[in-house]
Structure 1
């Protein structure tokens, strides 16, 4: 087993552990949140599965940047399965139940929609561009749906244990992911520098910023919904993105480009998250003097 393969497994385990920890705090009502709100569900799916891929395609067509980055941007847009984002959304004032419900709905529907989208965009771009449904299904079931269900079952059967274990498991998962990303970044750093052209940085930053804007606008008028959809539109699953790219272009390596995108997510979304945190603090009632 190579170091890269070991890091890939570590990354997947950390994602599954993060989702499991989220499941420890989720309820059936959280998962069904969007089912009871069909209009919000439709808008959310259009934003993530239609609008964001169109934005990526427009950037790919009209911006001049390296081929590997162009392909990576499109497959990133085809990987709308972010990790559950309860911590970020809660800290920013986002709706927790919507966060859970959106992640569950997107994960379940991606099994069918993502392969169809890859075929469609392949025809538009005039190149073979597809992915086996089994590849997407396996990734989603093992890293999202099963861990989430397992966490919810534990929460239902042993609520006391779930409450105690939630935070330690989340911290361990975050540590594993941080270590995997840092080590992988070190290993592919020369390649990252090679692909980090001005055009690539601008194109990917524009895609992330567009995701924040689109999600914020379409998630309205409720502010707590806007925050969740904005963060979800800007984020993508790097592991699935690399898998789609590798399936279509086996002779090229896209790890460096996807890692670059993962780093840019943190940089570009930080001002938005900080803005929402300030708005949340400003909206809280002042403490009464005694």
Structure 2
């Protein structure tokens, strides 16, 4: 097996382990909690898949970007929550219940939302892109739903074990993800550098900032829910986004480059927001019995 084959396997494994670690802190009631809150569910879908899709389309129409970049922007707007995000959401004060439920619910809905959304957008704007439900289902089931379910089952039947392996597993997954991503920029360095001065980074920055603002506003009256939805709206699942964009540009390395830049830009853009929400959450806990 070559290094080129090992890298995506390691990335997918690390993301699955991150979701598994979240499951170790959650219950079946947590994973299904969003279904018992229809108002929050509607606002979550509106924030992540409707408003951001419109934003991506406007940016794709106004900015002179590479076609692969335009497709990637739209793909990101339709993609579910990335597995690397839940840890940041909970550290910033988000509840495990909403975090786990949003991850699971949006993963399931993406099986329908992504193909329908891309079909509609392709027909209206002539983008010529399609993606099957089966392709999306394989990504979200293997990378999100299965590891989340395994984590919940371990917590249900072996709670002491779940508490012991939660932090070490999260740390290992993070280290593995970093190690797996290190060779990627080297492999696509020319494509990454091409996007520095052509407006792509600005577009991704605007996308992330708008995502934070939209998610925060639609998160509802509870501060912790606002935090979770803001971060989820600004960052998206890289595997789903690349699957969509690669259907139109199967040999285009710009697809991988723009998704990688999205992960970097969204993480940097969210730093001030995460710090502020973390401080506010800690302050609200002072004096709480």
In structure 2, the gaps of 5 or more residues are none
- Number of the residue aligned with 2:274: 273
Query: Closer, same or farther in 2 for the Cα pair 1:161/1:285, shift >3 Å?
Result: closer
- Number of the residue aligned with 1:221: 221
Query: Closer, same or farther in 2 for the Cα pair 1:180/1:136, shift >3 Å?
Result: same
Q: 1:35-46 residue pairs with structure 2 within 5 A? A: 35-46=35-46
Alpha-carbon distance between aligned partners in 2 of 1:148 and 1:3, rounded to the nearest angstrom: 28
Alpha-carbon distance between aligned partners in 2 of 1:66 and 1:110, rounded to the nearest angstrom: 26
Alpha-carbon distance between aligned partners in 2 of 1:267 and 1:193, rounded to the nearest angstrom: 18
- Number of the residue aligned with 1:17: 17
Q: CA deviation at 1:2?
A: 4.1
Q: CA deviation at 1:87?
A: 2.5
Equivalenced residues, count: 287
Runs of 4+ in 1 over 4 A off after TM superposition: none
Write out per-residue CA displacement over residues 35-78 of structure 1, whole angstroms, 9 at most, x where no aligned residue: 11111111111111211111111111112233332222111112
- Number of the residue aligned with 2:248: 248
Q: Is the 8 A contact 2:111 2:137 kept in 1?
A: yes
SS of the aligned residue for 1:34 comes to helix
Give the TM-score normalised by the residue count of structure 1: 0.94
SS of the aligned residue for 1:262 comes to helix
Write out per-residue CA displacement over residues 4-63 of structure 1, whole angstroms, 9 at most, x where no aligned residue: 332111111111111111111111121121111111111111111211111111111112
Higher mean displacement: 229-238 or 19-28: 19-28
Alpha-carbon distance between aligned partners in 2 of 1:84 and 1:192, rounded to the nearest angstrom: 21
Alpha-carbon distance between aligned partners in 1 of 2:199 and 2:86, rounded to the nearest angstrom: 33
Q: Is the 8 A contact 1:80 1:237 kept in 2?
A: yes
Q: CA deviation at 1:198?
A: 4.7
Q: Is the 8 A contact 1:43 1:218 kept in 2?
A: yes
Query: Closer, same or farther in 2 for the Cα pair 1:149/1:84, shift >3 Å?
Result: farther
Q: CA deviation at 1:186?
A: 2.4
Query: Closer, same or farther in 2 for the Cα pair 1:130/1:141, shift >3 Å?
Result: same
Q: Is the 8 A contact 1:81 1:107 kept in 2?
A: yes
SS of the aligned residue for 2:54 comes to helix
- Number of the residue aligned with 2:162: 162
Q: 1:70-219 residue pairs with structure 2 within 5 A? A: 70-83=70-83, 85-219=85-219
Alpha-carbon distance between aligned partners in 2 of 1:85 and 1:98, rounded to the nearest angstrom: 13
Pair 1:33 & 2:40 matched: no
Q: Is the 8 A contact 2:78 2:114 kept in 1?
A: yes
In structure 1, the gaps of 5 or more residues are none
Q: Is the 8 A contact 2:68 2:249 kept in 1?
A: no
SS of the aligned residue for 1:35 comes to helix
Alpha-carbon distance between aligned partners in 1 of 2:162 and 2:233, rounded to the nearest angstrom: 29
